[in-house]
Amino acid sequence: MSENLDTITKELGTRYEVSKTAAAELAAKKSDFYTAIDAEIIETTTLAQQTVAPPKDFGEPETYVKVFYPGWYVIEENEEGILIEEDPAFKKFVHVNPEDGKLYRRNISQEGPSLDDERLQQEDPALWKRITKPARVLKPFYTVSNKDLAALQAYLVPGKMTVKLDAPRAAKPEELGDI
Written as one string, the DSSP assignment of 2-23 is HHHHHHHHHHHHHHHHHHHHHH
Question: With 90 as the cut, is the pLDDT of residue 37 above it?
Answer: yes
8 Å CB contact between 75 and 61: no
Distance CA 63, CA 80 (A): 18
Residue 174 has a pLDDT of: 87
Question: With 90 as the cut, is the pLDDT of residue 52 above it?
Answer: yes
66 or 178: which leads in pLDDT = 66
Nearest partner of 69 among 89, 52, 57, 56, judged by Cα? 52
Question: With 90 as the cut, is the pLDDT of residue 116 above it?
Answer: no
Residue 179 has a pLDDT of: 58
Residue 134 has a pLDDT of: 79
Give the model confidence (pLDDT) of 158-169 as tens digits: 999 999 999 999
pTM of this structure: 0.72
